[in-house]
Structure 1
């Protein structure tokens, strides 16, 4: 029987954008920031609701200005101005891009100058895990035009706001997770010895699209005899053989929101140490699930998971963290790291991703998606199999 899933509504109510903007403006007021400007897609979309595939092209820059009060102001190429009729933004300023000699810089500078006259402090995404989607020369020119203003980092404010998801955001991520979990189940019944990694990933990719994913832009795999040692490259045309272990790590996207988790499959007979490593990372995830709750730090979540792996004889963890935030981007702040001091809050969505080197050149990684609730945490999809499935 062909499985079907019911997707949640697309988009958001206007009240959600009003609330997001008001929270940002409260934080701006506390730091005496007159305006914040964004030029990267997740932040632009988060505060405006503008969703376009034009972000795939590097030719044209897009800017969104959030003043100390009132609605955001779009400063965008003329080709995209009409698209804002479907958003809550009513102040749209445009220029005929591409215009390399002045691709929106003067228009953006004039807009920022207009709305930043009190403290003359302007915020931008300048911190870790961020970037400016504009040429360095253009940013320098913008700073020159605003020489009487102070440019300050607003990334900490924004990442804290975005880390706590609304009910509507959680519903979208949950659906992306359900689609992915169903894709993994489908693959379990369709994997065969002799298939290539690429063929396996493509089969799962097509099934996730059929189930309702908008895209699967992140779908990687690795395989090897009794384990694998590289989980960020494939898929390749390597054929899966008896004794292999295959990992697939993927992030399906629905309405601009991601899932991100993995599953492992054994082919034929694999060593007892491989099965033991699988059971260790599964138990490590269980430890994370028991600990993750409001008031707990990301470091405490990491420690709960690592303690299990350490007792299981882990030689190390080369990934550097054991999970991360999730939402409009495949990976978001915060990270589950040793000594991490980010305090979990209800509404945060995280991955739990314990990984261990269990023998030289052989790894086992496991990842699940959770939402922090008022009393603990909740899985956003069906849990992985307690024992590693064996194909063939």
Structure 2
């Protein structure tokens, strides 16, 4: 049993079979795409194949590499500071260097390993699609490409995206736990928010509630509070006190065992005018409309249309999308937009996030769902149509 890579009594981690299955699926897709190896460099990608969970990724100083060969276990090529933790996962082959090294920050070690596991003329896949990034200096990538001889670096043919979009039952359970934690914290907002309390204090104390309810950390918190709605949903909190007539919204992404929740809730400070109450009810109607049609075979674009048809008549918001995937990252593929025709599959976890205009302000509502073989199921505790009052 591994503290990171194996499931313990607390439900944390995963059994080794989870990672074996992930690698087997990746290697089957690699064979079809003609890839001799995958090279991944970002936190969720490395963790997907290893279970390596640490907040040390907040430091941008050191690069981290993981190679998934055509067969067998992944190989970690990482700074020596991470070796002890990586040994707690299911990974056996851990190759390290003393980092940071201003002349050769893992470049030679990575190139040597790639030459070892990839035959001459073989192709090495790097995630290259939307929502991916390369976490190493461009100059070092060029050096690796030069040092691997006749081997070629290319895109990964969407393999990582396809793998991460569909969650296992164990992953879904972790997301549901995170949602339950956030739901309990939202239920305690009346303890901390009322007229006269500065918004920044509400933010600070809400994060404390999330931690009290079991979150490992609160990676994301946004929202707003203004008369009759709010101007946007991403600005930092100010010291302005809540006052009667405000609508308070909190949107949080709490993390439990490396998996996110992502949903919001709205409250009226004192009695809300009819237009605000009606707008909130319309948002619930919109998310319910998407929930009703969400099932395998439906596309992301169809969920967008189900929500947009409800809110557009009263003035939707120009948020760019009305929801997205959710998992090890706060936002994942797909995007609920008109042009995303990703076909839903059982095991996908999505947010439903319609927005609506109220005069010159907006209201936004968000829920988390999982696609099942027969339809969808709420992971967040579903909100009612009535706007709660503080």
Q: TM-score normalised to the size of structure 2? A: 0.95
1:63-212 maps to which residues of 2 (within 5 A)? 63-117=65-119, 119-146=121-148, 148-154=150-156, 156-212=158-214
Shift of 1:118: 5.9
- CA distance in 1 between counterparts of 2:205 and 2:23 reads 41
Match of 2:61 in 1: 59
Shift of 1:147: 5.0
- CA distance in 2 between counterparts of 1:183 and 1:101 reads 48
> SS at the partner of 1:11?
coil
Shift of 1:228: 0.7
> SS at the partner of 2:309?
helix
Q: Is the Cα contact below 8 Å between 2:263 and 2:380 reproduced in 1? A: no
| 1:358 to 1:8, Cα distance in 2 relative to 1, 3 A | farther
Shift of 1:156: 1.5
- CA distance in 1 between counterparts of 2:264 and 2:40 reads 32
- CA distance in 2 between counterparts of 1:144 and 1:57 reads 28
Match of 2:312 in 1: 310
1:363 matched to 2:362? The reply is yes
| 1:139 to 1:61, Cα distance in 2 relative to 1, 3 A | same
1:375 matched to 2:345? The reply is no
Match of 1:280 in 2: 282
Match of 1:250 in 2: 252
Question: Greater CA deviation, 340-349 or 231-240?
Answer: 231-240
> SS at the partner of 2:188?
helix
Match of 1:3 in 2: none
Q: Is the Cα contact below 8 Å between 1:318 and 1:357 reproduced in 2? A: no
> SS at the partner of 1:236?
coil
Q: Is the Cα contact below 8 Å between 1:34 and 1:118 reproduced in 2? A: no
- CA distance in 2 between counterparts of 1:310 and 1:80 reads 50
Q: TM-score normalised to the size of structure 1? A: 0.94
- CA distance in 1 between counterparts of 2:271 and 2:47 reads 48
Q: Is the Cα contact below 8 Å between 1:34 and 1:119 reproduced in 2? A: no
Q: Is the Cα contact below 8 Å between 1:187 and 1:203 reproduced in 2? A: no
Cα-to-partner distance string for 1:10-35 (whole Å, 9 max, x where unaligned) = 00000000000010000000010001
Cα-to-partner distance string for 1:235-258 (whole Å, 9 max, x where unaligned) = 221111111111111000000000
Shift of 1:318: 1.2
Match of 1:330 in 2: 330
Q: Is the Cα contact below 8 Å between 1:33 and 1:119 reproduced in 2? A: no
Q: What's the C-alpha RMSD, in Å, of the aligned pairs?
A: 1.4
Shift of 1:278: 0.8
Q: Is the Cα contact below 8 Å between 1:281 and 1:356 reproduced in 2? A: yes
| 1:354 to 1:18, Cα distance in 2 relative to 1, 3 A | same
Question: Greater CA deviation, 76-85 or 294-303?
Answer: 76-85
Question: Greater CA deviation, 321-330 or 127-136?
Answer: 127-136
Match of 2:320 in 1: 320
Shift of 1:125: 1.9
Match of 2:387 in 1: 388
1:259 matched to 2:258? The reply is no
- CA distance in 1 between counterparts of 2:306 and 2:55 reads 41
Cα-to-partner distance string for 1:27-84 (whole Å, 9 max, x where unaligned) = 0000100011111110101101122222121121111000000100010112222222
Instruction: Provide the aligned length of Structure 1 versus Structure 2.
Output: 382
- CA distance in 2 between counterparts of 1:367 and 1:140 reads 42
> SS at the partner of 2:87?
helix
